[in-house]
A and B are shown apart, each in its own frame.
Chain A
Amino acid sequence: MNDRELIGRVLAGDPSAERALYDAHVDRVFRLVYRMAGDLDRAQDYVQETFIRGFDRLGDFRGESALSTWLCSIAISITLNGLRKVRRFNERETELDDGLQAGSPVREADPDLKVRLSRAIEALPEGYRTVFVMHDVEGYTHQEIADTLGVQPGTSKAQLSRARARLRAALADFARD
């Protein structure tokens, strides 16, 4: 059954079609959201919200892109919005912690490549990080990224290039090794 038939059945109120649609797309959505969120609880929340919103708005889906792209678009929007709230909260918490721990020695471990890379990816601007994760980590094409994020493929390519440049600079010592 293709997406169009599946959507028709979901809109007609067929519960088995709802489940079939969920099964067909949940893995891809979850992988992307988890890569962005890096936390199981948050990823689950965002994926749930994606499908709730997706089912609610399925009647608005006009088939201009693949259903998977449409769902990923919702997922990215929910995830980035959620992560912004988390970041805002964490920044406030960190300020409090900094105030309490002023003067305590900073312990700096010698991180391996994986840890350093994770930090460098986390430090990327949101747009760069999203494109980098989608392209270099999850293997989306620039066209898919463009469709999902509502930008031109050229914007996706430019952001990926800048993301890579920042990562390369952050990991320059590994490159020399």
Chain B
Amino acid sequence: MDDDRLDDPIRDAARQYNAPPDTPKEEMWARVQASRRLGAQRGKGRRVVSPRYWVPWAAAAAAVLAAGIGLGRLSVSPETVVPEVAERRAPQVNPTAYRLATMEHLGQSEAFLTLFRTSVVAGGNERLASASARQLLATNRLLLDSPAAEDRRARLLLQDLELILAEIAQLSLESREQDLQLIREGIERGDMMPRLRTAVPAGPNSMQGAL
């Protein structure tokens, strides 16, 4: 793809674009270390999330987790059923359950983003869109922390989706135009809709192995 390359003077000038200085290695390392030490002292990493941010969707998150475990149990073959007298173990969740939960979530996200682009952008419904995005965001984060995210394509898609859902979740009337523009760009930039449609096949028989 170098048959359309820029003229030499422009190419040379491009190499000077935001020319980086020497890497401030020690300064950054000191801050990385300080931040990690602080995270270790807090016990759960450095990220501190306000409970106020999470509490409203805790119910949705718990519901999704329960649904995932339920699907997993349903999908366990009869041969693996452990008799009651056997040693107790943590529930074995079939990876298929996570794949199905992921596809269901991606399908819902696609439908939501389609609706968002056609109705909310035209005006109104920001509050409803924000609430829906928060619910999807909760599910999205659960899936990112689950074995569903072990698949690289699924993980990247969920990560990109997370950014867009987070932006929609923060929609407010005051900053509507700018926020909508950013969200539109986010959807277009990452080819979000085609990727969602690819990840969620149309036919029910083609669900297997789609991710």
Are A and B bound to each other? yes
What is the interface of chain A, defined by CB distance below 8 A to chain B? 19, 22-23, 26-27, 30-31, 34-38, 40, 43-44, 47-48, 51-52, 55-56, 62, 64, 77, 81, 84, 87-88, 91-92, 113-114, 117-118, 121, 125-127, 132-133, 136-137, 142, 150-151, 155, 157, 160-161, 164-165, 167-168, 171, 174-175
Q: A160 — nearest CB in chain B belongs to which residue?
A: B1
Structural contact, B36 and A52, CB atoms closer than 8 A: yes
Structural contact, B10 and A174, CB atoms closer than 8 A: yes
Q: A23 — nearest CB in chain B belongs to which residue?
A: B25
Structural contact, B189 and A171, CB atoms closer than 8 A: no
Structural contact, B32 and A51, CB atoms closer than 8 A: yes
Binds A, one of B12-20, B48-56, B86-94, B110-118: B12-20
26 pairs of residues in contact across A and B, judged by CB atoms under 8 Å: A26-B29, A30-B28, A31-B20, A34-B21, A35-B20, A43-B20, A44-B24, A44-B27, A52-B35, A55-B32, A56-B46, A77-B159, A91-B178, A113-B9, A114-B13, A117-B13, A126-B185, A127-B189, A136-B14, A137-B18, A142-B1, A157-B1, A161-B4, A167-B6, A167-B14, A168-B10
* Contact count A vs B, C-beta below 8 Å: 123
In the docked arrangement, what's the CA distance between A27 and B209, Å? 39
Q: Which of A34, A48, A84, A175 contacts B32 (CB 8 A)?
A: A48
In the docked arrangement, what's the CA distance between A38 and B163, Å? 23
Q: Which of A35, A48, A136 contacts B6 (CB 8 A)?
A: A136
Closest 6 CB pairs of A and B: A150-B156, A34-B20, A157-B1, A38-B18, A127-B189, A30-B23
In the docked arrangement, what's the CA distance between A37 and B17, Å? 11
B124 interface residue per 8 A CB criterion: no
Q: Which A residues are in CB contact (< 8 Å) with B70? A: none
Contacts A77-B159, A88-B182, A155-B191 given: A121-B14 contact, CB under 8 Å?
Answer: yes
Q: Which A residues are in CB contact (< 8 Å) with B7? A: 174-175
Structural contact, A127 and B190, CB atoms closer than 8 A: yes
In the docked arrangement, what's the CA distance between A127 and B15, Å? 18
In the docked arrangement, what's the CA distance between A64 and B154, Å? 14
In the docked arrangement, what's the CA distance between A110 and B150, Å? 53
Q: Which A residues are in CB contact (< 8 Å) with B46? A: 52, 56
> For residues 144 through 201 of chain B, which have their beta carbon under 8 Å from a beta carbon of chain A?
150, 152-153, 156-157, 159-160, 163, 175, 178-179, 182, 185, 188-191
